[in-house]
Amino acid sequence: MKICLIGFGAVGQGVAKAISLKKENIRNKFNIDLKIVGVSDSSGSAINQDGLDEELLIDTKSKTNKVSNYPKYGEGNIQGIELLNVVDYDCLVEATPTNIKTGEPAKSLTLKAITDKKDVVTSNKGHLALFFKELIDKAKGNNVKFKFEASVGGAMPIINFSKNTLPSSKIESIAGILNGTTNFILSRMTTEGSSYKDTLEESQALGIAETDPTQDVEGIDAACKAVILANSILDIDCVYDDIEIEGISNISSEAIKLAKKEGYLIKLIAEISKDNLKVAPRLVKKNSPYSVEGTLNMATLKTDLAGNVTVVGKGAGSLETASAILTDVINVGKSKK
């Protein structure tokens, strides 16, 4: 199975690392031979139809910050969507940064691959939050697989879980913590009694929050994930603008102390149902499924037969997100057998 990987930041490098670690096991267990034949970042590409060395790709990027400096097979004049025209591949792994304004370049990359009858696995949220129905319809029309488990909750299994493990149940609603950065900040404010400003600065110093934390702390990231879950699990035809959003930047240490005194925690909760699409701070009971700490994500699925089912997992991280991508890639490969 020949992989074309576009986007070689933390997630893309995590995918290369995961394939390096697991390709022999995947070959033995599933009879799927994974081979990265093309990789692109902003500098250009590395292309080898016989397969690129995953560890050398990571080493080249680490030392030079340019995948185009890959020995012998680096190419500075080909990048992004151009790579899809020159490399022979079976599945596009799309790992470019999320763009909530236009969904690009993920949207164009995805549509190009689908039109060319190639399967697609993505970790991106932007194009899904803006153009979910268009992308899904295009994939169905071209009879290709389009998978996106990694776009919601990193390593937390939820989309595949709901479809493969709960097919007998109707899922009526979903509520959960879908952003690890805000959960870390609120958890630290609760345990340390620190202010929002100080805790945000701490999370930035630790690399948990971005230099510009807006997408996380204002609820934008969680809202994108809510759209994806609404569409993919609850069959709600919605887009990003349909979500009511309130972030955590106005949460004070005094509010957290008061909630704690009464046996509650404050968490940024996504509520997803046909009647309610919202991301906002909520009071949750201590020792409830919502009391997870640090960068963990969680979601409770309310079902008609199985009752409430809760999933928990790491919501971010290079290898953690790559694990979800690799699961999708394996499932694509298994579907071809």
Which is catalytic among the residues 23, 145, 225, 267? Answer: 225
| 59 and 92, same domain (yes or no) | yes
Confidence of residue 316 (pLDDT cuts 50, 70, 90): confident
| 189 and 269, same domain (yes or no) | yes
Q: Could you give the residue ranges of the DSSP H alpha helices within the chain? A: 10-30, 54-64, 83-86, 106-115, 126-141, 159-164, 180-192, 196-205, 214-217, 220-232, 253-261, 318-335
Q: Residue 146's domain is classified under what CATH number?
A: 3.40.50.720
- Mean pLDDT is lowest, of 198-212, 239-253, 275-289, 298-312, for 198-212
pLDDT at 119: 98
pLDDT at 154 > cutoff 90: no
| 91 and 151, same domain (yes or no) | yes
| 87 and 12, same domain (yes or no) | yes
| 197 and 144, same domain (yes or no) | no
* Residue 274 domain boundaries: 163-313
| 83 and 65, same domain (yes or no) | yes
| 150 and 167, same domain (yes or no) | no
pLDDT at 153: 86
| 14 and 49, same domain (yes or no) | yes
| 114 and 59, same domain (yes or no) | yes
pLDDT at 39 > cutoff 90: yes
Among residues 249, 238, 264, 263, which one has the least CA distance to residue 213? 249
| N-term to C-term CA, the chain | 11
pLDDT tens-digit readout, 170-226: 999 999 999 999 999 999 999 999 999 999 999 999 888 889 999 999 999 999 999
Asked if 106 contacts 126 with a C-beta cutoff of 8 angstroms, the reply is: yes
Read off the pLDDT of each residue in 228-246 and give the average, rounded to a whole number: 97
What CA–CA distance (Å, rounded) separates 128 from 223?
A: 11
DSSP letters along 124-153, please?
--HHHHHHHHHHHHHHHHTT--EE-GGGTT
Specify whether 225 is catalytic: yes
Q: Residue 173's domain is classified under what CATH number?
A: 3.30.360.10
| 60 and 174, same domain (yes or no) | no
| 119 and 226, same domain (yes or no) | no
What CA–CA distance (Å, rounded) separates 282 from 27?
A: 46
Count of structural domains, the chain: 2
pLDDT at 244: 98
| 74 and 211, same domain (yes or no) | no
